[in-house]
């Protein structure tokens, strides 16, 4: 216990009931400003006579429990809101990085390298289905080649995005980084009818970073922006 705490404890112990009452008379708004000070104070019991049960204390305890629950829900809501705002800011930073690329090769490096830093992820890869891997002229870390049909097998034929938590990383998606991955987000990119299927894969060592039931709007938005930017660079139709 620090000296400051000792002094505060001695001050509280030395207060008399009369001093407390006098303080409250001089500060009638005290409990309105600090309602939490009333929580540990039990309501006074009442003698209503034999055979009469006083439910006042039970009702007050119940209300106090509801207030505590509301405070807990409020704290959770604020934490979730802060987390969402932070994620939104990071997604916007990723979009600006995509728009700032000065070559298609730099665009791919932005996706596979910068995204991981900005979004605080362990691995980010861009996966392309191809019969012949040599047909792709881009050679950069994070660009993965998948056999045709792999994306449909993972997501289903009509699904655009899936979040998976508490998993073992897939080497087909994350190569040597798969050992780190405990949760991932997979986004199908529909670039053009003339391009092969593409998958954007986010991997995290946190098993709860991505999980079924989490909101996907921001990740989906980033995927949509990426589709448009790639089409612009490759001069492809929608």
Query: What mean pLDDT is reported for the chain?
Result: 83
- Dihedral (Cα; 189, 106, 138, 140), 10-degree rounding: -100
Interval 100-145: pLDDT, tens: 999 998 999 999 999 999 999 999 999 999 887 666 665 667 889 9
In angstroms, what CA-CA distances link 225 with 74, 92, 104, 177?
34, 10, 15, 26
| Model pTM score | 0.68
Superfamily of domain 102-234: GAF domain (3.30.450.40)
The domain locations on the chain are 102-234
Which of 171, 191, 188, 159 is closest to 123 using CA atoms? Answer: 171
pLDDT class of 5 with cuts at 50, 70, 90: very low
């Amino acid at each position: 216990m620090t000296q400051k705490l000792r002094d505060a404890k001695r001050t509280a112990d030395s207060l008399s009931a009369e001093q407390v009452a006098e303080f409250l008379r001089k500060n009638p708004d005290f409990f309105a400003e600090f309602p939490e000070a009333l929580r540990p104070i039990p309501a006074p019991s009442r003698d209503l006579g034999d055979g009469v049960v006083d439910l006042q204390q039970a009702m007050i305890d119940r209300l106090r429990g509801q207030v505590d629950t509301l405070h807990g829900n409020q704290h959770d809501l604020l934490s979730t809101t802060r987390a969402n705002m932070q994620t939104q800011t990071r997604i916007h930073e990723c979009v600006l990085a995509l728009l700032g690329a000065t070559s298609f090769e730099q665009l791919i490096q932005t996706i596979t390298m910068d995204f991981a830093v900005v979004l605080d992820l362990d691995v980010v890869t861009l996966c392309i289905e191809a019969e012949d891997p040599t047909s792709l002229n881009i050679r950069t870390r994070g660009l993965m080649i998948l056999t045709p049909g792999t994306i449909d097998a993972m997501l289903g034929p009509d699904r655009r995005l899936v979040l998976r938590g508490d998993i073992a990383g897939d080497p087909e998606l994350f190569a040597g980084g798969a050992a780190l991955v405990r949760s991932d987000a997979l986004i199908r990119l529909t670039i053009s009818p003339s391009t092969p299927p593409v998958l954007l894969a986010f991997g995290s060592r946190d098993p709860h970073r991505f999980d079924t039931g989490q909101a996907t709007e921001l990740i989906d938005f980033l995927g949509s922006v990426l589709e448009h930017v790639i089409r612009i660079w490759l001069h492809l139709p929608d």
